[in-house]
Amino acid sequence: MKSVISLEEVSGVTLDVMRRIGLLLVSVSKEGKPNVMTIGWGFIGMLWGEPYFVIAVRPSRYTYTLLEESLDFTVNVPAKGLEKAAEYCGTFSGRDLDKFKACNLTATNAKVVKSPIIKECIIHYECIIKYHYDLNPKFIPSDVKSLWYPQDDCHRMYFGRITAVYADDDYKMKIP
């Protein structure tokens, strides 16, 4: 059973799992086919009086194409036992295969956005993209640039207004 929960209650756990294992970002094509990728970077906070989840996606990613089409996404915190799935979804591209099928993940309708959530995850954020900008390689520190952008494939930052947050009632027992 999944219930509405406050951003404050779950944001610390979300950042912790993001750093240690990764979060599962789900987007959907215009034909309704969902895709999932693992993210280790992102921000939770407030802007323009509302809560936002900011994600960073490179233009080379299949997810980038889907986000440009659907303009929404969900962020899902994997449960204990999904560590391998998080690794897999961060390694392979959804252009070539169905990662939901490959990892035994279930795409379930979200409450507000078109992108589905992942049923097996424990915390869910539904986000509507309100703004984006591209990191500018000119202003990135040179050590960061040589490490993360040797080919200038700079991230687009998507600002997703958080429209719903909910979690498994027993999520605390299932944190990975």
Q: Residue 122 corresponds to which tokens in the numbers above?
A: 């424990």
Task: For residue 42, state whether it binds a second copy (rule: CB under 8 A).
Answer: yes
Element at 57 (helix H, strand E): strand 50-57
Task: For residue 18, state whether it binds a second copy (rule: CB under 8 A).
Answer: yes
Q: Which range of residues in 49-57, 75-83, 105-113, 165-173 is near a second copy by CB under 8 A?
A: 49-57
Q: CA 137, CA 127: separation in Å to the nearest integer?
A: 27
- Residue 148 CB, shortest distance to a second copy, in Å, is 6
Q: What is the DSSP string of 114-138?
A: SSPEETT-SEEEEEEEEEEEE--GG
What binding mask, one character per residue, do residues 66-95 give for a second copy by CB under 8 A, x or -?
------------------------------
Tokens 């960073």 locate to 56
Q: Which is nearer to a second copy, 7 or 102 (CB)?
A: 7
Task: For residue 5, state whether it binds a second copy (rule: CB under 8 A).
Answer: no
- Residue 71 CB, shortest distance to a second copy, in Å, is 11
8 A C-beta contact, residue 104 and residue 60: no
For residue 4, what are the CA distances in angstroms to 43, 103, 113, 125? Answer: 20, 26, 16, 10
- Residue 120 CB, shortest distance to a second copy, in Å, is 22
- Residue 12 CB, shortest distance to a second copy, in Å, is 4
